[in-house]
Amino acid sequence: MYIEVTENVRKIFDKLEKFKDTGKLKFTIYVFDSLNTGHINSKNELNPELTEDNDLVVFNLDMVGLTHNFTEIYLEYLTMEFNNIATMFSKGYQENGNVMGIHYNKYDKPLLSMFEKLSYNEKLEVLAELFIRLDNESLFQDKYPLLELTGNGFEIAKNIIDLKI
């Protein structure tokens, strides 16, 4: 681990490290899709736009200095890379900002369920750790040029962690 995280987050990454690149890409797509749809929020609301809670914090990457459309663009890159290595039975595509068409199998679902059960702060830890691993190319076994970041993964991660409540 590159940052200090809770035991729940450590378990997710321990499990994720055992996956092949396809499974790691699916998990990363799921996390960024959750981010893109507002599901990473302080109350773990599935549809935060319908909540009339003034204390609700919906995390987005604007909050850490990235452009408002970074998540959507990066999701496109993730989906393209996934489609390059995935089987013909699972091809992803974006529709109205959501990633569709990805088949999550019996190995993926427990990891995604673990992610869904995390608190807001723990989900921020997962996101921060993903940014660091994507930046220093330690998440995947193979190289994926489209997924390279600009060398500021630690800075982005620090900014994400600073927003924990």
Predicted confidence band at 155 (pLDDT cuts at 50, 70, 90)? very high
Asked whether the predicted pLDDT for residue 128 surpasses 90, the reply is yes
**The most confident of 42-46, 52-56, 58-62, by mean pLDDT:** 58-62
Mean pLDDT score of the chain, rounded to an integer?
90
pLDDT digits (tens, 9 = 90+) for 30-40: 999 999 999 99
Q: What is the pTM of this model?
A: 0.91
Please report the pLDDT score of residue 92 as a whole number: 80
Q: Which long-range contacts (CB under 8 A, 24 or more apart) does 39-43 make?
A: 40/120, 40/123, 40/124, 40/127, 41/120, 42/120, 42/165, 43/120
* Residue where the block lists tokens 């378990």: 11
pLDDT at 146: 80
Per-domain residue ranges of the chain = 7-161
Return the pLDDT at 89: 64
